[in-house]
Amino acid sequence: MRLPPSPRPFRSRRRYPRIEVLGVIDGHRVPLDVPLTVRDLSQGGFSAESAVPFPPGTHHHFRFTTAMAQEVTLVATAVHCRLASAGADGQFTYISGFEFHSDETTDAAIETLIDTLASVLSMD
């Protein structure tokens, strides 16, 4: 009798580990000031909830503000977007994933933001 192969352990395809940041970072798309609920963040990108969809392939500027009032503005491209909920009142919530545009200045800003987050989260 031959046994079926054992399942492979789950392996993330992400290059960078994500840090859950719900409530620790405020996000806004600028210059239109569209608020976002930042769900998680990594050196390579982030995911967020919003009331507006971000079609894949579109480029946006985002301002992130930490609880310690540190602000960083970064450029990212929408990688995916899905409808998360549709309320009876006609309000929609979308979850989108974004990839940061990588360059020396952006990478340093993201690293500083992640370091700040790590220190805030370690105090919890």
Per-residue model confidence (pLDDT) at position 81: 97
CB 69 within 8 A of CB 26: no
- Give pLDDT, residue 92: 94
- The CATH code for residues 19-122 is 2.40.10.220
Boundaries of every domain in the chain: 19-122
Overall pTM surpassing 0.75 (yes/no): yes
pLDDT in tens, 24-76: 888 999 988 899 999 999 999 999 999 999 999 999 999 998 877 888 999 99
The DSSP line for 45-110 is EEEEEESS---TT-EEEEEEEETT--EEEEEEEEEEEEEEEE-TTS-EEEEEEEEEPP-HHHHHHH
